[in-house]
Amino acid sequence: MDKFVIEGQRPLRGAVEISGSKNAALPILAAALLSTEPLVIKNVPDLWDVHTMLKILGALGVTSSKNPAGEITLNVADEKPDTAPYELVKTMRASFCVLGPLLARRKRARVSLPGGCVIGPRPVDLHLKGLKALGARIEIEDGYVVAEATQLKGTEIYLAGANGSSVLATANVVMAAVLAEGKTTIINAACEPEIHDLMQCLNNMGARISGVGTPIVTIQGVESLHGAVHDVIPDRIEGGTFLVAGAITNSSIEVKKCRPAHLAAVVDKMSQMGIHVEMAAASCRVIPSAEIRPADITTLPYPGFPTDLQAQFIALLALTHGISLVTERIFPDRFMHIAEMGRMGARIRKEGATAVIEGVQELRGAPVMASDLRASAALVLAGLAARGTSEIQRVYHIDRGYESIEKKLNALGARIERTKDEE
């Protein structure tokens, strides 16, 4: 099992290019199930989760090929398979979004209940609610969701849960509705850029979706979709992570090939903390700040502050003089990184869904263990800023969502070595 060995307190400088969005690419890959014509997807990141999704699609009769430019071409070779197996779906929650397109195109889907990062309960009730509203018959059998429908029919669906809209539920329902008979209106659809990107891809394939990027989406069902070429948006979470890398190491870093508008809430919060970020058409540059102020942060659905950057900002706030509060409204149990940061000298306590952070003068290198994808990134950031050497175990988590993060950071001046854990 790989681990990172990080030599801390090295200044960073230069520019880094952001890869394609993991959270956009995964449902877009699943959209290949909706047509028998080729779907060509550009700017797909080279990640474990992408490899897992391609294996799942392979089990569902979809062939895939990648050219030297990194474009992935998907072709449906066999429409008979309808089962997404447990051994693959258990590793990645986003794989559950094959449910909607399978049901819409093949009239039956048998998909294992999903796994993924351990960040608290993540029920699939909204997925099932939306598909049932479209006319699907759904049962849970031996850990699998079994859904059937001779013909899905458009309807009005209110798609909201206790913590607001659901990105993956919106993806599943939209992909089912594009081949449903009649008009479907989704109220409280997720507005995240990744969902916007999926809808753009579906429209490129011949879907008729309006209200893209808003909480009220209308889908006029069509008989079939055709092939298309689609370019995945840049990963806003990777972009935000590198902005924090600059701030936590007091370094000037240019984040290139990003969409600054997708980082508006992040840049606004950094500005409140005294961190200046210069914005350009497709890049951001973080400017070192002599003194960073504490902050109160609450995670919210887009366009609010993203839950996927909560852990990274906690690492930054751990070195900020004063008391900061970070409240998690999306996944209230998403604080497993706190204990590991404590091993590095951070002073953080959890009170319900809020982390109370008392800033310290420095963090100290220590052996720590990653618990999930974004916690991994936070520990890397903490290691970059800490005095001494840090060892981060179980970095396979970070490989799920960051393309060659250690290589990108080393190119900026960090010293991170990937080695094998002796355990």
pLDDT digits (tens, 9 = 90+) for 284-296: 999 988 899 999 9
Q: CB of 101 within 8 A of CB of 202?
A: no
CA-to-CA dists, residue 75 to 31, 38, 53, 60, 128, angstroms: 11, 5, 14, 11, 27
pLDDT of 332 strictly over 70: yes
The pTM is what?
0.96
Least trusted range by pLDDT, from 114-128, 194-208, 241-255, 324-338: 114-128
Q: CB of 179 within 8 A of CB of 105?
A: yes
Helices (H), 158-277: 167-177, 193-204, 236-248, 264-272
pLDDT of 117 strictly over 50: no
Q: Which CATH superfamily is domain 2-19+234-420 in?
A: Enolpyruvate transferase domain (3.65.10.10)
The pLDDT mean for the chain works out to 95
Q: Which two tokens stand for residue 405?
A: 């993060």
The residue written with tokens 């969502």 in the block is: 401
Cα 177 off chain centre by: 23
pLDDT of 319 strictly over 50: yes
Residue-wise pLDDT for 223-256, tens only, equals 999 999 999 999 999 999 999 999 999 999 999 9
The residue written with tokens 């600054």 in the block is: 260
How far is it, in rounded angstroms, from Cα 266 to Cα 113?
A: 32
Q: What are the residues whose beta carbons fall under 8 Å from the beta carbon of 221, sequence distance 6 or more?
A: 152, 154, 177, 178, 179, 180, 181, 182, 183, 184, 208
pLDDT of 298 strictly over 90: yes
Mean pLDDT of 298-319: 97
CA-to-CA dists, residue 176 to 3, 148, 236, 268, 361, angstroms: 40, 12, 26, 36, 52
Output the pLDDT for position 114.
Answer: 82
Question: Which helix (H) or strand (E) segment is 145 a member of?
Answer: strand 144-148
How far is it, in rounded angstroms, from Cα 297 to Cα 313?
A: 9
Output the pLDDT for position 423.
Answer: 54
Q: Does domain 22-231 have CATH number 3.65.10.10?
A: yes
How far is it, in rounded angstroms, from Cα 359 to Cα 302?
A: 28
Residue 67's identity, in one-letter code, is: N
The residue written with tokens 């206790």 in the block is: 162
pLDDT band at 115 (very low <50, low <70, confident <90, very high): low
What angle in degrees, to the nearest 10, is found between the helix axes of 373-385 and 236-248?
A: 20
Q: How many helices (H) and strands (E) does the chain have?
A: 14, 24
Burial bucket for residue 338 (CB in 10 Å: 0-12, 13-18, 19+)? buried
pLDDT of 123 strictly over 90: no
Q: Could you give the residue numbers annotated as active site?
A: 117
How far is it, in rounded angstroms, from Cα 420 to Cα 398?
A: 15
Output the pLDDT for position 119.
Answer: 39
Say how many C-beta atoms besides its own lie within 10 A of residue 350's C-beta: 15
Mean pLDDT of 181-192: 97
pLDDT of 120 strictly over 70: no
Q: What are the residues whose beta carbons fall under 8 Å from the beta carbon of 34, sequence distance 6 or more?
A: 101, 104, 105, 175, 178, 179, 202, 205, 225
Residue-wise pLDDT for 10-47, tens only, equals 999 999 999 999 999 999 999 999 999 999 999 999 99
Output the pLDDT for position 116.
Answer: 45
Terminal Cα-to-Cα distance of the chain (whole angstroms): 8
Residue-wise pLDDT for 363-391, tens only, equals 999 999 998 889 999 999 999 999 999 99
Helices (H), 77-206: 86-89, 99-106, 125-133, 167-177, 193-204
Q: What does the domain layout of the chain look like in residue ranges?
A: 2-19+234-420, 22-231
